[in-house]
Amino acid sequence: NLIDELSGIADVETKEFEVTNSNGQNLGGTNYRVYINGQTLVDGNDYRTLKCTSSKYLNNQMDAEGMYAITWEDTGMEFNAKGASANGSLKALFMIRDGNNNENMKGTVSAADLSSITIKIPDTKVNELSLANKGRIMVNNKFYYYDGWTAKVGENGVNSVTFKLAPESQMADQAEADRVKGDGQSNYLTTGSSMDAMGIPYYQNQINEFLRNFTQAFNDIEKQGVTLDGDKMGAFFVGTSPTGNTFDADSWDAKVQAAKKDGWTTDIELSSDGDSYYQFTATTLAVNSKSLKDSNYFATSTQITQGEAKYDTVEDLLKLQKDVRMFRGDSAETFLETLISDVTVDVNKTTTSSNNYSNLSTAIATQRTSVSGVDEDEEAMNLIKFQNAYNLASKMISVMSEMYDKLINETGVV
């Protein structure tokens, strides 16, 4: 039935209430209610509807623009299909689409004003960032939208992030900003969504982290060499943007080198739209246009005077395959093995869980059928039993009728 089908999609609870008047007297009727994920869907003859709306925010850096969210049509509030207490096939779809293994950015609010919120976070490497360039944050159980961010980067990585609030999410007054800030240590802020599942975003982030590490190491080696035409080599790998901008991370490398030379006495700034390896993702990675047009624009040695047969730069590049720790303490050539291992473990875990739930569902369905269903063999046996009982009862009535006839009509008659 419909409730059974709905229960496979989301958590369903049904309740039946007696209908009473204002004095509490039972009127003899009942009212039926249906709840999904703890919220009322049907109440007697009244019902609510859900609709899909295009999201104006991103949860993860590589999310597509305009992904759908589910909202209640009457209130516009989001339907929480992926909460910790939710279940069903609908949540499973969201786990695949949004699952990030709870690796969304989290931190404590250290400052806030009418147009920005700043948080402190544990030191995080730039190449590990998966923060969307525009998205949604939550603090004090309230959502705010941001359309850009800047971060402070120290010797050990990113240590604070300042979110630039979108116009529709700016603070109403300083009092609200003060509430968001709190004491500067206790208010907790989360970005995007947090899902305890290894879905598409999780594996995208793993790929991005590896390719950033690899392209940075590759570019660092190439930039030390000269092209076959004797010119100084630039970045071989670059990042691109939908607007056509190209990022080669040269300015970022210069900032890092200057900070190292200065002993990291001050933090350097990273922005969501600035030139850095944050802009390098699986969808934006490209080879620089010069190398695509001219094969000579590639460094094979550090000095052209060493001769064409000299290839010390190439030897250093080859070392990236095995000798350099690139991903989770392992080499570049084992990256896919590591990722496939993750996928295999996750698939086996999911398959086992699915089989267990399938067996449980089958057992429950069988039990329900045994209680509410009709067993044809049992019904046939009952029919025979009832027919025999009827025949015996009829025979007894016939015998009693003859006895009474003898006693009443024939006894004592001369």
Inter-helix orientation angle 200-222/312-322, to 10°: 160
The answer to whether residues 53 and 13 belong to one domain is yes
Give a yes or no: residue 270 inside a domain.
no
Angle, vertex CA 274, rays to CA 57 and CA 65, nearest 5: 25
Q: What pLDDT was estimated at residue 169?
A: 94
Q: What pLDDT was estimated at residue 204?
A: 94
The answer to whether residues 179 and 214 belong to one domain is no
The answer to whether residues 163 and 72 belong to one domain is no
What residue ranges in 168-271 does DSSP mark as E strands? 188-191, 237-240, 246-247, 268-271
| Matching residue, tokens 């992030």 | 161
The answer to whether residues 245 and 160 belong to one domain is no
Q: State which amino acid sits at residue 69.
A: A
Residues 6+ apart with CB under 8 A from 216: 127, 249, 277
The answer to whether residues 336 and 306 belong to one domain is no
The answer to whether residues 322 and 207 belong to one domain is yes
Residue 239 binned pLDDT confidence (cut-offs 50, 70, 90) = very high
Helix count and strand count (H, E) for the chain: 9, 16
Question: Average of pLDDT values for 269-277?
Answer: 94
Domain count within the chain: 5
The answer to whether residues 9 and 36 belong to one domain is yes
How far is residue 19's CA from residue 44's CA, in Å, rounded to a whole number? 11
The answer, yes or no, to whether residue 317 has pLDDT greater than 80, is yes
Residue with the bigger pLDDT between 84 and 370: it is 84
Two tokens at 163? 């979110």
Alpha carbon of residue 392 to chain centroid: 70
Burial class from Cβ neighbours inside 10 Å (0-12, 13-18, 19+) for residue 270 reads buried
Give a yes or no: residue 272 inside a domain.
no
Residue 414 binned pLDDT confidence (cut-offs 50, 70, 90) = low
The answer to whether residues 234 and 176 belong to one domain is no
Question: Does pTM surpass 0.75?
Answer: yes
Q: Report yes or no: 326 and 338 within 8 Å, Cβ to Cβ.
A: no
Give a yes or no: residue 273 inside a domain.
no
The answer, yes or no, to whether residue 270 has pLDDT greater than 90, is yes
Tens-digit pLDDT profile for residues 141-192: 999 999 999 999 999 999 999 999 999 999 999 999 999 999 989 999 999 9
The answer to whether residues 205 and 323 belong to one domain is yes
Phi-psi region of 249 (alpha: psi -120 to 50; beta: other; left: phi over 0): left
The answer, yes or no, to whether residue 327 has pLDDT greater than 70, is yes
The answer, yes or no, to whether residue 307 has pLDDT greater than 60, is no
Q: How many Cβ atoms sit within 10 Å of the Cβ of residue 104?
A: 21
Which residue segment(s) compose the domain that 63 sits in?
1-98
The residue among 105, 16, 122 whose CA lies nearest residue 59 is 105
The answer to whether residues 363 and 407 belong to one domain is no
Considering 77, 98, 119, which residue would you say is the last residue of a domain?
98
Residues 6+ apart with CB under 8 A from 159: 120, 121, 123, 152, 153, 267
The answer to whether residues 12 and 131 belong to one domain is no
